[in-house]
Structures are given as C-alpha cells and as structure tokens.
Amino acid sequence: MTDFSIKTGKMIAIYASALGVISLAVGLVEILGGWGESIPGDLFGGFVLAVMAVTYLGGVKRASHGRHEGLSFIIGGLFLTGVFGVLYLLMMGADGLMYLLGEAEALPKLADARPAIWIFILSLPLAYRVRSLTTRMTW
Amino acid sequence: MIMPEFSGDDAAAILAERRYHAIAGILETVVTKGEGKWTYTDILDHVFLHRWLGIPIFLALLWGVFQFTFALSEPFMVMIELIFGWLGGLAEDGISNPHLASFVAGGIFGGLGSVLVFVPPIFMLFLALSILEDSGYLSRAAFVMDRLMYKLGLHGRSFIPMMMGFGCTIPAIMATRSIDGEKDRMITILVSPLISCGARLPVYVLIAGALFGASYAGTVIFSIYLLGIALAIAMALIFRRTLFKGEPSPFVLELPAYSMPTARTVILHMWDRSKWFLVRAGTIIFGTVLVVWFLSAHPWEATSGGELIENSYIASLGHFLEPVFRPFGWDWMAAVALLFGFLAKEVVVGTYGILLGVDEASLGESLVSLGLFTPLTGFAFMVFVLIYVPCVATIGIVAKETNSYRWAGFVVAYLVALAFIVSGLIIGVGRLLGFS
C-alpha cells in the first residue's frame, strides 16, 4: 500500500537525490577549505550542507515507493534548504546595507552568493510539487 | 497478588505510561481519523526527532541562529555607533566644563553607548529563538537532547531550563522548580550558569567581530555557546557521579503541534525577552559604568582630566590584579573589565569603552591595533567570560532556590576554578600548536 502514487514518488526521489548529491558535494568542498571564490571554505556552513544532503538522501528510497516516511525526510531537507537559503540572502542584504553605510567597499555581487542560495533556488520546483502533494494535510 | 515495589521515580513513570495508554485506548474508540494519515506534525517529527539526524539538525539550526544574530545585526550596530559617535562629539564640543564634558562624552556616550550598541544582536538572537519556540521546534530540541543526556545519566528536563538560559540564567534557575527529583534539580541549578546568557553576547560580538572578522565571527560565537553546553553536560555528569549519586528521574514531555509563528507573537516574545537588556542598561550597567568612569578619570589632576589613564585609580586596581591574568596574555584592562563584569557581564564591554576612550565604532579595532588580544588570547578571554562567576543577581537566585548561601558560594568557587582551567588549557594547547 502506498501513500501517494509511485510515479510521483519516483519523480520526487530523483529530484531530491540530485539536490542531496549537490549539497553533499558542495558541503564537503566547504569543509575541506573551499574552491576558488565560488565556494568559500566554511566548516560549519559545510556541515549544514552535509546535514541537508543526508536529510534529502535519507528519504529517497521510501519516497520512491510512495511512502510518507520518505516524504518526511524530503520535507525536512526542503525546510533546511529554505531556512539557510533565506538566511544567506538576508546576509547578502545586510552586506548591501553595510555598503550604503560606508562600511563595505562594494555592493555584494551575484557571484558572491553562497552555494546554499543556488541550492535553495533549485529546490523551489520540488518544494512546489511536495506542497501540492501535501495540501490536504493538517498541522 | 504480589504488589511490585517501585521507587518514587519508577512509580511516576509507570503512572504516566499507563495514563497515556488509557488515553490512546479512549481516543481509538471515540475519534474517527480523516483521510490524511499523516499530519505535518507527524511528517516533521519523523525527521526532526530522528534518532541520528535529530541532533545534527538541531546543531545546524543553532548555528543558523548565531549567523543570523551576528550578520544581520551588524548594519544596525553601525547605525547606533554613528549616532553615539555624533552625540559624543557634540558633548565634547558643546560642554565647556571639562569635568562635565568628560563625564558625558566618556562616561555616558563612551561607556553606556558601547553597551547599547549591542541591542541589535540581542534582539536578533531573541527574534530567532522566538521563531523556533513559537513554531514548536524548541521543545523538540529538548526531546532530542534528552536521549543524549539520559545516556549520560542526566535528566532530560534539565535541558529546558538550560535552553532558557540562552536568554537569562535567572529564569532558567527558577524554571528548575519543574524538575521533580531534588538531586536532578540541584545538578541543573549548579550547571545552568554555564549556558551562555544574552548578557555575555556583547562581549563575544565585540571580540569575535574584531579578531575573527565578519565571516567567522558567527561561527566563533556558535562554538562558545556549544562549549557552554558541553561544559554544562560534563559538569552535570561529574556532579551526578560525586555529589548527587543516583539514577535520573524519568522525563515525560508533551510535544505541541508545529505551527506557523505569527509576526505579532514573535515580536512580542522577542520584546519580552530583550527588554531586560534595556532595563539593565539604564540601571546596573549605567551605575557600574559611572563608577568605572569615575575611577578612570580620577585623581583628576593626575590623569589630566581622564587623559592619562595610567595614573588613575582604576589602573592601580588593574595593575594589582594583572599578575593573575598575565599568564593568559591579558593586561590590566582585562583584569578590571572582568572584575566589574561580576556585577553584569555587559559591563566588560562598557569598561573597555571607557578605558580605551574611543568611540563605539573604533572599539573592536582598538583591541586589535593596541595588541590587547590575539585570536588565541581573545578566544580564551571569551571562554573565561562564558565560565567565570555569574552575575550578582544569578548568585542571589542560586542562594534563594537552593536555600543555602553555601551552594551559592560553591557555584562561584567551582566556576572560577573551571574558568581558569579551561582558559588555561586553551592558551596552553594553542601555544603548543604555534598560535601566539
């Protein structure tokens, strides 16, 4: 017995696997000291991405079988992605404010965006799909 | 029929278990479940309370809270610095009486201003914690930590007062009344001051911001908070095995359903928890800062109106205390700041503001340029501030809650000893690794 269709589950599982693998790769690079200017070295930032990745990947198998247990991990991963994506966006906004106050040399550029922001943007289609799947749920 | 014999704690656990079993039985007969098998709360709890992922997720969110606190409050701190700098300049230029000008510019704007600059990070910290609490996550954090704490022989409920200690240690110690077992309660009271309260945040923000830069300050502050939790757990374990032997009593926690926090309640909670800082700034911090200013500007002739601080009363006091802290690489100013920090931790920052005689914007810069701290000695100083004596009000509440001045004295003694040991270890290991 499944909680939602296996076809939907497989689609969600593939997308979540991709997000999980990307998060894990970027997280490991951050933990190991970064790569150029695009991925900064950040031990705890990398740890957060690794936790996010494990959360996504932990639900892939059961989500592909159409089970709520799997979906819960993917929603947990999406939640973490959202929290940290928005956090880094706010931090970029704060950097912009620092520039306006004369405390920074330049406005933050798109290239300064942390990888977690890009992962957050990548996760939005999945979040939309999962949201439509769970609309009838209650808190 | 043979009646089993239970200890008081076992009986409480068995009663709670039977009660919930009976509730489940009644619900099964009277409640018809809707078509959705799972609610959002079920779904989220499945992952947030997960055996292996629960604690890493909690740590990740806690790190996020400190990134949020530090990075987002920075521009607002700069704005307040600009305002106080402007007011200080206005006072120096506009007041003809040199005594009064020194008092207003150095004492009020220099000392109190350097503390008020930290209103934004305190408000941001409580904004983030209020969101976590109103969403229902904070009680889950206590639940996931309970597993770890129970394995260490500690009481799970102890973690709730500890988490309240992020705000202020006083309500955290008062909240230990909810702990049933007297031994568990005593252990929690004794270790609660190790959880970093909001009053210590200005010290961390100042020193971590100056020494580690904006990119790493949040992570450094997070590590100090983690160290506080780790030390609290370690000390609780030591107390459990020495002073309060026995098994921890069982922990029953009802988890509320998750809910979307509303802006109104989050802001109200944030205000409720943060306003104490403004109240303290206007009372105990203001009073202490004035004493520090008086001691730093007098004898008036010898200090040339507060210009030659080395000739002041406070410098004499600092030089007297300095030998105790010299092995840590801290000078007499640090000794004085720590001494007055006993009254309220924020005063550590206010004291530096007065002693260095610079505006708020330059305070962190001066700590570095004058060579008062290196990253190693600065980190050890933050750890010392984390551990050493709690503020006067906390000691009072320990005496009240334990009904004993001896326990209050014990808390002071063990925390001071622990502060010297841990900071000394950090300095020693750091120097062995080649840090200066």
d(C-alpha B389, C-alpha B364), whole Å? 24
Domain positions in chain A are 6-133
d(C-alpha B123, C-alpha B98), whole Å? 36
Are B63 and B71 spatial neighbours (Cβ–Cβ below 8 Å)?
no
Angle (CA) B410-B387-B60 rounded to 5° is 130
| A-chain residue closest to B257, CA distance | A139
Angle (CA) B314-B317-B320 rounded to 5° is 150
Q: Which amino acid is at B47?
A: V
**Which residues 51-90 of A have a C-beta within 8 angstroms of B?**
51-52, 54-55, 58-59, 68-69, 71-73, 75-76, 79-80, 83-84, 87, 90
The ipTM of this complex is 0.94
pLDDT at B5: 54
Residues in B touching A98 (Cβ below 8 Å): 74-75, 78
Q: Which of B74, B86, B226, B262 to mutate to test the interface with A (most CBs of A within 10 A)?
A: B74
CB-nearest partner of B46 from A72, A83, A84: A72
pLDDT at B157: 67
Q: Which of B37, B42, B57, B66 to mutate to test the interface with A (most CBs of A within 10 A)?
A: B57
Q: What is the DSSP string of B334-371?
A: HHHHHHHTTT-TTHHHHHHHHHHT--HHHHHHHHHHTT
Q: Distance (Å) from the C-alpha of residue A39 to the closest C-alpha of chain B?
A: 13
SS3 content of chain B, % helix, strand, coil (to 5): 75, 0, 25
If 0-12 CB within 10 Å is exposed, 13-18 middle and 19+ buried, where does residue B226 land?
middle
| Closest-CA residue to A137 (of A17, A36, A3, A14) | A3
Does residue A139 belong to the interface with chain B, where contact is any CB pair within 8 Å?
yes
Place of tokens 């004898």: B299
CB-nearest partner of A137 from B38, B56, B259: B38
User: For chain B, how big is the Rg over CA atoms in Å?
Assistant: 24
Q: Distance (Å) from the C-alpha of residue A92 to the closest C-alpha of chain B?
A: 9
* Cα–Cα separations (whole angstroms), residue A25 to A29, A85, A87, B87, B379: 6, 17, 20, 51, 31
Contact call for A51 and B71, based on CB within 8 A: no
Contact call for B59 and A73, based on CB within 8 A: no
- Token pair for residue A70? 């799997």
Does residue B36 belong to the interface with chain A, where contact is any CB pair within 8 Å?
yes
CB-nearest partner of B79 from A52, A87, A101: A101
Does residue A35 belong to the interface with chain B, where contact is any CB pair within 8 Å?
no
Residues in A touching B64 (Cβ below 8 Å): 48, 83-84, 87
Going by their DSSP bridges, the two strands A34-35 and A39-40 should be labelled as: antiparallel
CB-nearest partner of A75 from B44, B61, B71: B44
pLDDT at B282: 76
Evaluate the CA torsion angle A28, A30, A34, A37 in order and state its sign.
positive
How many beta-carbon pairs below 8 A join chains A and B? 106
Does residue A1 belong to the interface with chain B, where contact is any CB pair within 8 Å?
no
pLDDT at A53: 97
- The 3-state secondary structure of B25-68 reads HHHHHHCCCCCCCCCHHHHHHHHHCCCCCHHHHHHHHHHHHHHH
Point out the residues of chain B with pLDDT beneath 70: 1-13, 33-37, 152-157, 160, 178, 248-252, 306, 359-361
| Closest-CA residue to A108 (of B35, B215, B204) | B215
Burial A112-124 (b: 16+ CB within 10 A, else e): ebbbbbebbebbe
pLDDT at A75: 94
Point out the residues of chain A with pLDDT beneath 70: 1, 136-139
d(C-alpha B18, C-alpha B29), whole Å? 17
| E strand or H helix at A35 | strand A34-35
User: For chain A, how big is the Rg over CA atoms in Å?
Assistant: 17
